[in-house]
Structure 1
Amino acid sequence: MVLILLSLVFLLMRVAPGDPVSSALGGRLSAEELAERRAAAGFDAPVWKQYFEYLGQVVQLDFGRTITDNRAVSEIVVDNGGATLTLTLGAVLVALLVGLPLGLWSGRRRDKLDDVGIRVFGIVTFAAPVFFVGLLFQLFFGKNLGWFPTSGQASPRIQASIPEKTHILLIDALLAGDMSAFRDALHHLVLPAVTLGLLVVGVLIRLVRVNIIQTLQSDYVEAARARGISEGRVVRKHAFRNALVPVITVMGLQMASLLGGAVLTEQTFNWPGIGNELVGYLNDRDYTAVQGIITMFALIVVGVSLLIDIINALVDPRIRY
């Protein structure tokens, strides 16, 4: 999967008109000087040669250096990855806190009015564009009500005062013993995390609801009811855990959606993550940066998929590898 994605990005970047040298220096250098810069960067070589040279670098985990500002792609991931990780984990937490109880309640209240309302809510959150939801939240909760900040990872003064040790601002604030900075970072995280988390809430609601309905109709649940166990205990102890197995799998698969949504969310809220950097490099047509960042995203998705397989085996005793 990583190889296919890497190859597609490599080809698409070169099919589109223009190149990073012209984007960065066009209008400031003569045609001869631009040609020299392209040759020095290797862009005058045949595409197949550029492709195999890049594959050779990736195999050695060398994703190259950006053309526009000469930064190593690994440096971008380290410097900005903490912000993206914070946003993604916050979104996962929001999705679980909202999607699991609503899906459970909807499954227990099948075809009742509240079940219909929850299903409509899930459809709306799934269908609404993440950037549009973010703009609405900024307008309503940020500008009109003034409850939450609408941009940035923290207040500029606070962010500048926290020494970067882990590149994760919440952890750095705790390590520095600055609880006011920690609260400020949490305050800035709320709107972006809710915006991105709602992207997968609809999927969770539908999945939990379907599995709860199926599980509540199974023989072992009927047997538990026949033994006089209360309905609440039957749902919590017998039905819910079994219904969680496919939920865990789908949450792993939704990691790709979250990373894709993080790009738009970071742009909307001016969040200093990898996605924000990716958009800037796309505008500059920086081949190396775009290829490297998307390849890193692909590696993260593959790693999460492997982790989900392991967790499934721990949760479900029927699964063995």
Structure 2
Amino acid sequence: MSSRTSGSLRTYLVTRVLLFVPQVLIILTIVFVLMRVAPGDPVTVALGGQRTPEQLAELRADAGYDRSIFVQYAEYITGIFRFDLGQTITDSREVTDIIKTNGGATLTLTVAAFLVALLIAVPFGLLAGRYRDTALDATLRIFGIVTYAAPVFFLGLLLQLAFARGLGWLPSSSQASPVVMATVEQRTNIFLLDALLDGDTSAFWNGVEHLILPALTLGLLLSGIFIRIIRINLIQTLRSDYVEAARARGVMERRVVVQHAFRNALVPFVTILGLQVALLLGGAILTEQTFNWNGIGSQLVRYLENRDYVAVQGVVTLFALAVVTVSLLIDIINAIIDPRVRY
């Protein structure tokens, strides 16, 4: 690597990391403001009518809502750096405890869904781009549009009716059977990993069976847009000069598509992956509700129903930080594999 190239990469990485700080502060400020747009304080909203005025006043003071908005904002920001996301109002539970206890289920679902999306989108996008303007291309494009546009909960219900209720092949809800869940020691709160640590392969495969339908539901949602992106990038790459040069040298068309065009078509696809994290997390919330999957998303919905805005603020803050952090990592990876990004 030349000194100029390494210097430009170093400059880009430093600049991108420095921009990460104000980006995070802006997002955290937006979350803070949105949680305080509603009239009244979170304690009164969540517990009004369930506590006496004196008890509400004491709870407000304990939570710091009797202080000025600027003091609350300063405590909120400093708490983030201490990984203190607050304490729920309705059940006095630390938000970080919710993340530790239920985060493993959400992580399992999102990773599995992402893998399903790639397994579907990569071959389908490759075929659609290679055989553009054919019946196969049209079919795959329609498939991508339908899967992307279909509501997650509706798609999940259809899969439950087909494979759980109709055919009886797969379970329809939860991370595992109740009896199996009780036998596995929760070390990491990631059920499949805990089952392996216990050496219980039957529990592991029981968890995999329960994971298939929710992961397929969320994976189909992501695959729709991935198919379209891979197809468009592959078509553009197939028109490039170096691909035409490879064809002129007599390289087989299959090798041209897979080894030359497809690799370069994935470079812009990497950038898009970071932009889909928000869609992945949003889809995970609805998927968890549909399949009774006890993750962070299902907890978020429960606290929303209870109007516990402290818990909602903490979970939304976590999701926002996850999206921004993944976007930063994707930008760094993209700069490393594609020199054009650095300039």
TM (normalized to structure 2)? Answer: 0.87
Residue 43 of structure 1 corresponds to which residue in structure 2?
65
| Whole-angstrom CA distance in 2 between matches of 1:71 and 1:292 | 11
Deviations, residues 45-79 of structure 1 (Å, cap 9, x unaligned): 34343223222322333222222222222221111
Deviations, residues 179-203 of structure 1 (Å, cap 9, x unaligned): 1111111111111111111222121
2:248 pairs with 1:218: no
What is the CA-CA distance between 1:234 and the residue it aligns to?
Answer: 0.7
What is the CA-CA distance between 1:24 and the residue it aligns to?
Answer: 5.1
| Whole-angstrom CA distance in 2 between matches of 1:12 and 1:208 | 36
Is residue 128–residue 136 contact of structure 2 (8 Å, CA) maintained in 1? yes
CA RMSD of the aligned region, Å? 2.0
Residue 172 of structure 1 corresponds to which residue in structure 2?
194
Residue 212 of structure 2 corresponds to which residue in structure 1?
190
Aligned pair partner of 2:223 in 185, 201, 209: 201
Deviations, residues 219-255 of structure 1 (Å, cap 9, x unaligned): 1111111111111111111001000011111112101
| Whole-angstrom CA distance in 1 between matches of 2:40 and 2:209 | 41
Deviations, residues 148-199 of structure 1 (Å, cap 9, x unaligned): 1111011111111111222211111111111111111111111111111122
Residue 145 of structure 1 corresponds to which residue in structure 2?
167
Aligned pair partner of 1:156 in 178, 189, 207: 178
Q: Percent identity?
A: 63
Residue 246 of structure 1 corresponds to which residue in structure 2?
268
| Whole-angstrom CA distance in 1 between matches of 2:92 and 2:50 | 19
- Matched ranges for 1:51-90 at <5 A: 51-90=73-112
Q: Secondary structure, in 3 states, of the residue corresponding to 1:15?
A: coil
TM (normalized to structure 1)? Answer: 0.93
* Larger mean Cα displacement after TM superposition, 236-245 or 307-316: 307-316
2:252 pairs with 1:230: yes
What is the CA-CA distance between 1:13 and the residue it aligns to?
Answer: 2.6
Q: Secondary structure, in 3 states, of the residue corresponding to 1:49?
A: helix
Structure 2: which 5+ runs fail to align?
1-22
* Larger mean Cα displacement after TM superposition, 302-311 or 207-216: 302-311
Aligned pair partner of 1:263 in 274, 280, 285: 285
Q: Secondary structure, in 3 states, of the residue corresponding to 1:148?
A: coil
Is residue 173–residue 293 contact of structure 2 (8 Å, CA) maintained in 1? yes
Partner AA of 1:250 in structure 2: I
Is residue 106–residue 295 contact of structure 2 (8 Å, CA) maintained in 1? yes
What is the total number of aligned residue pairs between the two structures?
321
Partner AA of 1:262 in structure 2: A
What is the CA-CA distance between 1:11 and the residue it aligns to?
Answer: 2.6
Note closer, same or farther for the CA distance 1:51–1:313 as it changes in structure 2 (3 Å cut): closer
| Whole-angstrom CA distance in 2 between matches of 1:166 and 1:10 | 30
